[in-house]
Amino acid sequence: MARESRKDPQDFSVEEKLKNLYQLQTMLSEIDKIKTLRGELPLEVQDLEDEIEGLTTRIEKIQADIASLKDEMTRRRITIQDNNSNIERYTGQMDNVRNNREYENLTKEIEYLQLDNQLNEKKIREAGEALERRQEEIRRCSDTVTERRTDLDIKKSELDEIISETRAEEEKLRERSKNLEATIDPRLLSAFKRIRKNSRNGLGVVYVQRDACGGCFNKIPPQRQLDIRMRKKIIVCEYCGRIMIDPELAGVQTEQKVAEEKPKRRRRKATEPKAED
């Protein structure tokens, strides 16, 4: 027997559309509850991963700074060695000068090289101090990374345990909701998802509760409640924008209002004046 073709969602009646939409809302709410069970763990895991990544990047930058400082210290030591060689050579030439001008020039060169050595030695000391600070910073960052990795492993373990317990149920609900979405008019489904996204509690469809919207709890006029019960058109709350349905369509039994009779006040009879003895 050939399988019947699926009915076009646009051919559904308003009542059928609202019923399917509410069923979808119920399934998505169950998925939201499962996510709530996970609490803040996914965010905590993400924060720890971001922090570890930031610290790792910082360590790499500090290591690059350390390498640069070491290169600078090496260059300056080589410069000092070259200056000392030149000082020794100029000092030897001073014994063979022919006039005062040559002697003064050699003296100035030696003084300049000595000053340059002093400057380089100062820069080497400063680079050495900066190197120690960078190495200390790397130790602190490395210790922090170790602590954060331990915390991350614990949080991931807790999250994986919760996910494993709810994975089957969540996958089942997602599959059912996906199949149900195929039966809903795309424009209506898009509007529903937009309303749901903007709602704090994730409700895009609500039923009337005690003459009020089940989402924002604002009072609904009697005529509008009648239109909702008629199920002839899709009606949204004029305050929060949620799609409204009647409780019966949602499978909720409304409480019967019992009118309490006020006790009748008994009229007190006028007291007769007592007869005089």
* 16-59: pLDDT as tens digits: 888 888 999 898 888 888 877 777 788 889 999 999 999 999 99
Residue 185 is predicted with a pLDDT of 83
CATH number, domain 39-179, options 1.10.287.1490, 3.40.50.620, 1.10.10.10, 3.40.50.720: 1.10.287.1490
DSSP structural state of residue 211: T
In this predicted structure, what is the pLDDT of residue 56?
A: 95
Give the model confidence (pLDDT) of 195-208 as tens digits.
888 888 888 899 99
Residues 157-195 pLDDT 10s:
888 888 877 788 888 888 888 888 888 888 888 888 898
Has residue 277 got a pLDDT over 50? no
What are 165's two structure tokens? 């317990």
- Which among 217, 211, 249 is positioned nearest to 230, based on CA atoms? 249
Q: Which helix (H) or strand (E) holds 7?
A: none
Encoding tokens for residue 109? Answer: 């060169």
Q: According to DSSP H, which parts of the chain are helical?
A: 14-38, 41-93, 100-181, 186-198, 222-230
User: What's the pLDDT score for residue 166?
Assistant: 78
Domain definitions of the chain by residue range:
39-179, 185-245
Tens-place pLDDT, residues 112-155: 999 999 999 999 999 999 999 999 999 999 999 999 999 999 99
Percent of the residues in the chain that have a pLDDT greater than 70, as a whole number: 87
User: Which residue from 23, 3, 11, 52 is spatially nearest to 179, judged by alpha carbons?
Assistant: 23
What digits encode the pLDDT tens for the residues 128-138? 999 999 999 99
pLDDT, position 257:
42
Cα–Cα dist 6/20, whole Å: 15
Q: Is the pLDDT of residue 101 over 70?
A: yes
pLDDT (average), residues 66-94:
94
**Strongest mean pLDDT among 74-88, 94-108, 248-262:** 74-88
Per the model's pLDDT, the better-predicted residue between 257 and 242 turns out to be: 242
